[in-house]
Every structure is written in C-alpha cells, then in structure tokens.
Amino acid sequence: MQISIGSLRQQEALLRYGIIALTWVLGFCTRMYSVIRYESIIHEFDPWFNFRSTKLLVDEGTYEFWNWFDDRSWYPLGRVVGGTVYPGIMYTAAAMHSLFHFVGFKMSIKDVCVMTAPIWSGLTAVSAFLLTSEISDAGAGLIAAVSIALIPGYMQRSVAGSYDNEAIAITLLILCFWVFLRSVSTGSILWAALASLSYLYMVSSWGGYIFITNIIPIYVLVMLLAGRYSHRLYVAYCGWYVLGTVLSMQIRFVGFNAIQSSEHMGAMGVFGLLNLYVFVRWIRSFVSESTFRGLSQLVVVLAISIFLLAGFVGVASGFIGPWTGRFYTLLDPTYASKHIPIIASVAEHQPTTWSSYFMDLHLFVFLMPVGLYVVFNNITDQNIFIIVYGTAAVYFSGVMVRLMLVLAPAAVILGSVGLSDFLKTFMAVIKTRVIDMDPLAAEQPAAGSSSQKRKGKQKIGSASTKRRLRKEVAIGVIGFVFYMLSMYVRHSVWVTSEAYSSPSVVLSTKGPDGNRVFFDDFREAYYWLRQNTDEDSKVMSWWDYGYQLAGMANRTTIADNNTWNNTHIATVGRLLSAPEDLAYKICKKLDVNYVLVVFGGLLAFPSDDVNKFLWPVRITSSVDPTVVESDYLTADGAYSVGPDIGPALKQSMVYKLAYYRFAELKVLPGKVGFDRARNVEIGHPDVSLKYFEEAFTSENWLVRIYKVKQPDAYGWK
C-alpha cells in the first residue's frame, strides 16, 4: 500500500505547527522551575492581590467583583477595587478555571493562577510567529516563536506563580500589533475591528496599553512623513482608533481618560491629522494647483490654531488631565528621581544597566542591529512598524528596567529577521553549490569544440575551487551560529532556574554541601498573624508588604502596593521614621494594632526595611518638610547603623523595631549586635520600647511583629 505524505506545502505546514507546538511545551516546561525548586505558590507582591481578586471573582461572581469595596486595605480609606483595577487577568484566570472544570480537570483557583503565565507563554510564541511572519516570512517567524519562548526578559515575568498583568499582556501586545498590521496590509475593516478587540483585551489587562496607544499613532505619523500614505492605512488606523477608544472606555479604570488624559492625546491628534490629510487630498482633486496652495496654507494655519486653542482650553479647564509621573519619567529619565520619590523608590522603575541587557536578551542584543539593518534595506509598511516599535522599546527600556519586558518581543522579532536573513544567505551558498555540481552541467561543455572544452574545464575548475571555499565558510558560519543559539538556550534556562524562579515569599540559598536551604519566615509570620490576632486587627507595615499581608494574613493594612495615595504612604513613612512617642500617636490615630518590620540583619537579607529606609524618609519629606533626610545620615552624609549613626535614625521606629533585643544574639564571636546585612556592629545595641511590645519574631528574625500597647484606665504601667 502506498502512503501519501502530501505535498511539500503540507509537509511544511505540518513541520511549522509541530515546531510551534513543541515550542509551547518547551516554554511551559522551562517556566516550571519555580514549582520544581519551590512549590506551587503565588510569587512576589502584586500577584497576591491579583490572586485575591480572582478568588473573589470565582467565589462571588462578576457583580460582587465589580462592586467590591475593599475595606481591608488603605485603612481607614478603603479601596474601590472594581474601579481601580485592570480586570483582564482575573477574568482570564476565571475563564481558564471554568474551562478546566468543564473538561474535568478539577484544579484549584490558586493552581490555575500559578499556571496562567506558563500557559500563556505558548500563546506569546504563536503571536510572535504571526507578527514576524507578517513582517518577514514564516522562517523568521519560527525563529521568533522559539526565541521568545526562552528569552529571559520575558521569562522573568512569566514563570509559574508570576500571576501579574504582564503574564498575559505581552501576548496581547504582540497580538494587537499583528492584527493591526494585518489591517494595514489588507485595508480590511474586519481586521481593524479585530485590532480594536485585541486592544480592548490589552487595555483590560495592563496599564502598559498606553505603549500601544502611542506607538501606533507614531507609526502612522512616520508613514505620513515618509510619503507612504494609503487608504489601507486610513481604514486600519481610523477603524482601530474609533472602535478601540470606545471599547477601552468600557474599562472602568480607564473610562474617560481615553479621551481626556494627556497620554491619549497623541492618538487623537494623529486621528485628526490623518483625516485632515485625507480631506486636503480630496480637495486637491477638485481645484487647480495655485488654488490648492492657497487653500492648503489656510487649512494648515486654521488646523494648527484650532489644535493649539483646543489644547490650551482643555488644559486650562482641566478637561485634559496632566501626564502621569511615570509618563514624565519616560520622557525625562531624571524626572522621578527629582520630583516623585514614590516612583523613584520602586526597584523596577530604575534605569537599566548594560548588564541587564546581556542577562535579559543575551544573543538578541547582537542580532537586533542585524535585523534593523536588514529591515532598513527592505523598507515596507510592516518593516517601518517594527523599526518604530524597536526604537521606542529600546529607548524606554533604558529608562525603566521594567520595560525590558516590552523590548524583549521587539528584540526577538528584529533579531529573528536578521538571523533568518543571515542563515538564508549562507544556506543559499550551500544550495547553489549543489545545483552547480549537477553532472549534467559539468558534461555540457563536452559537446562543444576542444577550445570550448578547455574553457569549460577551466571555468568548472575555478568555480569548484571558489565553491569549496564558500561551502566551508558557510558551514563554519552556520555551525557557529547554531553553537551561539545553543548557548542562548543554555543561558536562558540557567537564568530562569537560578535567578527568575524565586518566589520572593520563600527565600533560599545553597548550603556548604550544595543543598538548597529554604527560609520560610514570611509565611511563618503571616500565618502567625492570621491565627493569633483578632480578625479586625490593623497591621501597619511599609507598603511593599501590603498585598502579601492581605493575601496571606487576611488582615487590614494601612497601605499596600497599589500606592494610590501618596499622603497615606507618607504617614506610614512618618511612623517608621518618627521617635517612639510620635509613632505611638500616629498608631492611635490610625487604629494600628500591630506593626510589622522586615529585618535582614541576621540572615544577611539586603532588601529589608532598614536598607529601604531612606525611601520612606524621602517620601515622607515630600509631604512633611519637617522630616529632613540629612538628619538620618551620619555627619559624613553616609547612611549607617554603626557607631556613627545619625541622631534621627537612632531614635526612629525602624531602628528600634529592627534591632530590639538583637544584641542578645551571638551572630559573630566577640561582636555585640553584628548586622550581617550591612556588615557592621550596630552603634546602639541597647534598644528599649515603651509603647510597643514584641509579639512575634520569625525563626530567622526576618519578620518582626510588634503589638501596640493599649493604655489602661490609669495610664501606663
């Protein structure tokens, strides 16, 4: 029996889908290191809030979720969660949960949340394949699919347990760009409508949607300036903008910001400009050249005047909102460090060092310029888009390390285009040789005269010499490229397993025998709070731990990672930086029952409250000018907890709560109160407390909880 294996095209399609399917598996498995090394657990900080919200959505339903007023956060203010959240990831996980249950997988909502990012990494690979195929060809698309599944810049936010908005947003970002480019290629309203839908999903999922809101108009502007206007572009942009804006306004957190905030004005301006451009072109077809010139000047002056007037009136009346601090920081990288300490204090808002590019992009830093060169040599509508996207992404990634996430897809796509072109060039060299070595071609000159035979032999002889050399070079180059690709895979897997799989909630290190040692102090402390305190207790901590406290301890917090109220955070900062009597007054005003501090002096954990302390001081001083940073520094202007400690720091609650009874520990022989995180013997080991009492200290002293004393009827005793 003869088995038909189909045409070459079918085989190619089979191979293509097979590679994408395997890529999905590869991406999923690599992201499982966090579960294998630790356990199935929600990571870090924001994911705890997302998990808590998703659980409420699944348990209580969508109406309860939308109307949810969380009185357990930002006490006593509370938070209107339904109106201040990007609900995309919650609905995605809830839908996946329902789907799994429908097909018989009885997964808990926690496990679904943990697995969301790895599952979606496969969809990201598919999206990258589609977008790269649209820009270049399917070969480059396959390279992009495999590469994005492994690139550390994306992996860091998509390992199992990393249940944050970015887990799905990167997929949607690429998908939105692909669908938009499809609409530009086809001029189809259907594709433009699909672009709007994918934009809606993106808006519902991540605040980074603003990147799309601005990149697409910039692309359209570049197309106009480059003289590449087409009706396809008009249909695509206008369709996307009008539908997308109306749809995005349905997300409560965005609402009228879509037409009022400064971040969205660029898109609106380009919409107006594009229509003006089309209008002028239309007029041109009716009038003579001289009339057109006069008219066009009039129209331009009128349009600019109306635009400026509308902008002035909008800003002056408050109709157009100001740019957000993060947006300002993107335009002026020094802005946050000068004016907004709350933004500057966040680790992921710091500018990027060169080493991060190597860690997060590895081979694709080298391949990205090659891809840029290739697309510049073959300018198309699609290539212009990837140039605009890549340039903006690489610039913004330098401003904020967090935006490495946005750069990763651009680097992969451009790198894949470059690599594909590079490999195709050298593969063509090898293929050419095979065709030239055809015996028929070699025999052809034998039919001619003797002189022709001689010429033919000489030609073949010289050509074969050249071909042999070229083949060797080509094979060598291709071999080297594959070696580097294998190094890329090795690097990515290593970075994922060692650096990006830590959940932050559980710490680990390698012991002298090479075995992993775990420190579970955070959960120990949160569970202590959950089981040993009243259900309506209020726990004060620096805002970093607010989401974890609410998620794991289920207790009311004063501030959390939402950081929506700077004054409230500054109040918490004032409490931490104040002397005990003032701190007590603040505690009483805020009904605080417990104060939690994170202390890494015993465990040599550097990200503790003592090391972070200058940020609370700076944030507080931006609200309360009586708090001066230099008072917390040594006379030399340094930050130290040693003998030369600043006078205000010595009196501050952070110092007292962190080092209370610390001198009792024998950390190093002959040293009293030796802080391993800062490698210093603390200057004032005799810490006493009047209004606070130690309630709980975790096994490795990483988390310390203090109870605020209540006065009896006769005052303090």
Burial tier of 353 (Cβ tally within 10 Å: 0-12, 13-18, 19+): exposed
Closest C-alpha to 396, from 464, 332, 441, 452: 332
334 binds another protein (CB under 8 A): yes
Please state, in angstroms and rounded to a whole number, the distance separating the CA atoms of residues 113 and 160.
9
Closest C-alpha to 276, from 329, 208, 229: 229
Between residues 110 and 491, which has the closer beta carbon with respect to another protein? 491
Q: 404 — phi, psi (to 5°)?
A: -60, -30
Which one of 224, 249, 295, 370 is in contact with another protein (CB under 8 A)?
370
User: Using an 8 Å Cβ cutoff, are 200 and 233 in contact?
Assistant: no
Write the DSSP assignment of 262-320 as a string of letters: GGGHHHHHHHHHHHHHHHHHHHHTTS-HHHHHHHHHHHHHHHHHHHHHHHHHHHHHT-S
Which one of 10, 353, 444, 452 is in contact with another protein (CB under 8 A)?
353
Between residues 420 and 548, which has the closer beta carbon with respect to another protein? 420
Please state, in angstroms and rounded to a whole number, the distance separating the CA atoms of residues 303 and 296.
10
What is the CA angle 518-522-525, rounded to 5? 125
DSSP 3-state of 717 = coil
Between residues 406 and 663, which has the closer beta carbon with respect to another protein? 406
The neighbour count for residue 188, using CB atoms within 10 Å, is: 16
Q: How far is the CB of 150 from another protein (least distance, A)?
A: 18
10 binds another protein (CB under 8 A): no
Between residues 101 and 431, which has the closer beta carbon with respect to another protein? 431
Which one of 63, 282, 286, 354 is in contact with another protein (CB under 8 A)?
354
Between residues 261 and 420, which has the closer beta carbon with respect to another protein? 420
Q: How far is the CB of 2 from another protein (least distance, A)?
A: 41
Where do we find the tokens 């080092």? 659
> Please, what's the b/e burial string for 660-671 (b: 16 or more CB within 10 A of its CB; e: otherwise)?
bebbeeebeeee
Between residues 90 and 140, which has the closer beta carbon with respect to another protein? 140
Which one of 32, 89, 135, 368 is in contact with another protein (CB under 8 A)?
368
Burial tier of 393 (Cβ tally within 10 Å: 0-12, 13-18, 19+): buried
**Which residue type, as a one-letter code, is found at position 626?**
T
292 binds another protein (CB under 8 A): no
Interface stretch with another protein, choices 10-18, 39-47, 127-135, 396-404 (CB under 8 A): 396-404
Which one of 328, 358, 528, 696 is in contact with another protein (CB under 8 A)?
358
Q: How far is the CB of 588 from another protein (least distance, A)?
A: 30
Q: How far is the CB of 429 from another protein (least distance, A)?
A: 5
425 binds another protein (CB under 8 A): yes
Closest C-alpha to 542, from 700, 342, 685: 342
Between residues 251 and 361, which has the closer beta carbon with respect to another protein? 361
117 binds another protein (CB under 8 A): no
Q: How far is the CB of 681 from another protein (least distance, A)?
A: 17
The neighbour count for residue 388, using CB atoms within 10 Å, is: 19
Which one of 23, 196, 261, 397 is in contact with another protein (CB under 8 A)?
397
412 binds another protein (CB under 8 A): no
Tokens of 264: 């969205």
49 binds another protein (CB under 8 A): no
Please state, in angstroms and rounded to a whole number, the distance separating the CA atoms of residues 484 and 296.
56
Which one of 398, 409, 551, 600 is in contact with another protein (CB under 8 A)?
398
218 binds another protein (CB under 8 A): no
474 binds another protein (CB under 8 A): yes
630 binds another protein (CB under 8 A): yes
**Which residue type, as a one-letter code, is found at position 665?**
L
386 binds another protein (CB under 8 A): no
Between residues 137 and 520, which has the closer beta carbon with respect to another protein? 137
Interface stretch with another protein, choices 126-134, 346-354, 545-553, 680-688 (CB under 8 A): 346-354
Closest C-alpha to 266, from 323, 228, 223: 323
Residues lying near another protein in the complex (CB under 8 A): 333-334, 337, 350-355, 357-359, 365-370, 372-373, 376, 379, 387, 390-391, 394-395, 397-399, 418, 421-422, 425-426, 428-429, 466, 469-470, 473-474, 477, 628, 630-631, 634-637, 644
